[in-house]
Amino acid sequence: MLTYTLRRLLLSIPTLIFISLVIFLLLELAPGDPLADQPLTIPPEVRERMRAALGLGEPVYVRYWKWLVQFFWVEPRVMLDAWLGTAMAVGEQRIISWQFRAPVFDVIWQRLPQTLWVVGMAYIIGVLIALPIGIISAYRQYSWFDQIGTFVAMIGFSVPTFFTGVLLIVIFAVNLGWFPSIYDTTLRVTDWPSFVRQVQQMAMPVAVLALYNAAQISRYMRASMLDNLNQDYVRTARAKGMTEPVVVLLHVLRNSMIPVVTVIALGVPSIFGGAIITEQVFKVNGLGQALIGAIYANDLPMVQTLAFIFAILIVLFNLVADVLYGLLDPRIRYD
């Protein structure tokens, strides 16, 4: 398993380098000018110098190489410096956002906590709701619980989050006034009242996303449980005199979790990127909003870096899913 993991990690390096090249070139070729929103009165020579200052004067391959070096060599050391208090990367050129005129990674570090809190929390809650619902729905197939679960799940993934989000805002923020409609990033949790306010502002975006996540995962859980409940080994467990909780929650669940864990692991990268719309609706300035903002502003370094980070996460969690699969299913041998 360890050698398999290491081999996969090594193999993912060329994959990622190829992906980075594709991302870089695609964005390079896309129409758009970072100076488009500068006044038209700027004379052409000045405009040219501004372009040079942004690093646009150099050929594509030079810029790509520089970006790679900055991403893989400079930025990690900057991070280490910040954590360990060393000074390895002082004065080196970092990836600079055109829009903010500040290092891209500083912006990302600023935005990450909101995304993790809101979208990550929604994912965890979604999973925690989905698993029991899926288990009970399968065990009591066609019961009223299962019917309601099916109905809610259908709503959950067929109604888009921008609709449920706005609906919740209208009901709970505008009419009832229970929750704020805009997420306040500057809020610091220091005492009980500020904690309550934090919970209040997280409630709606978390609810919208959790519903969406729970809808999908509970369906997977249900289908997987149903597959396994009909297996012969379940009858064997009953014939041995095992109680229903042991049969269902040990024998069946342990088998059913194998594909579901994979789905959950594969969904983790979407925490970082997929919640773009919800972040827009609730004005949570997390990573999703950073990406949208950067696209509007033609902020190429920001878009490239964020897109590449998403790519890394996807490759990484694919590996995590495969490793988990191997750990959970003794029939899989990777060596």
Contacting positions for other proteins (CB under 8 A): 230-233, 235-243, 251, 254-255, 258, 328-331
Minimum gap (Å) between residue 216 Cβ and other proteins: 24
CB 215 within 8 A of CB 159: no
Minimum gap (Å) between residue 231 Cβ and other proteins: 6
Nearer to other proteins, 49 or 235 (CB): 235
Pairing label, strands 96-97, 102-103? antiparallel
Minimum gap (Å) between residue 238 Cβ and other proteins: 6
Q: Is 140 helix (H, G, I), strand (E, B) or coil?
A: coil
Nearer to other proteins, 14 or 241 (CB): 241
Using CB atoms within 10 A of its CB, is residue 47 exposed (0-12), middle (13-18) or buried (19+)? middle
Distance in angstroms (rounded) separating the CA atoms of residues 333 and 318: 17
Minimum gap (Å) between residue 140 Cβ and other proteins: 12
CB 302 within 8 A of CB 104: yes
Nearer to other proteins, 43 or 241 (CB): 241
Q: Tokens in use for 99?
A: 């829009």
Nearer to other proteins, 136 or 210 (CB): 136
Nearer to other proteins, 206 or 252 (CB): 252
Minimum gap (Å) between residue 139 Cβ and other proteins: 12
Using CB atoms within 10 A of its CB, is residue 227 exposed (0-12), middle (13-18) or buried (19+)? middle
